Amino acid sequence: MPPSPRVALVTGGIGGIGSAICLQLARQGCRVIAADLVHDAARAEAFGVAMQGQPVETVALDVGDYDACAAVVQDVQARHGALDILVNAAGITRDGTLRKMQRAQWDDVIRVNLDSVFNLCRHAVEGMVGRGFGRIVNISSVNGQTGQFGQTNYAAAKAGMHGFTMALAREVARKGVTVNSIAPGYIDTPLVQAMPDAVRADIVATIPVGRTGVPDDIARTVAFLVADDAGYITGANLPVNGGLFMSF
């Protein structure tokens, strides 16, 4: 009998990068569940079109809710027999300089961007360890590496995400589970498209490859990291930023 398809849960799965990840994994034969906040009919229809006929499930989830994350992981495992791949792609921004930042702006970003990683991994990793296979990919950001004006909350969350990645990678490496993060640069999503043309042009001028990225650039990197034969890569942070930030 052919092996069962890998089961993948992608948070933020209805967003620009999340949708591309869902489509890429589905094309590779994974059984994909896209988790996101409750969305209206128009957004659901747009997601269906984006999946190009691939059978991707959707589930409503507030990733900042610990108990809700537990329930979704348990449901996926009960219905599909396993959760093999977890991609933490949910994220928000609430920008403002620290001198003007409200406590709610800080709390919201940490809750969605960082607490969510704990909430999902905490409930998913036990089954992965028990089965001797798992792939976790956390979508971080170049701004977690370099900092960004007006984003102390976002930069802290994204930097913390990779610290979490490295620590968990050490805990589960001998159990067949890898944990990695990806640090996208500026990707052509609605958030970047909403920038004034002049601002976007200034940003592109600083990117060595001469363009912003596209969601597929991130999706292909996720697909590489979650492959069955990628078991010797763990605790890594892969920059996908067109050369915007280079380091050892």
Q: Which residues are catalytic?
A: 154
Amino acid occupying residue 86: L
Cα–Cα distance for residue pair 185/207, rounded to 1 Å: 9
Amino acid identity, position 68: A
Residue with tokens 């398809």: 5
∠ CA 27-140-39, nearest 5°, is 60
If 0-12 CB within 10 Å is exposed, 13-18 middle and 19+ buried, where does residue 104 land?
exposed
The values of phi and psi at residue 31, to 5°, are -90, 115
Give me 120's structure tokens: 């999902």
- Rounded Cα gap, residues 196 and 200, in angstroms: 6
Q: Decide: residue 200, CB within 10 A, 0-12 exposed, 13-18 middle, 19+ buried.
A: middle
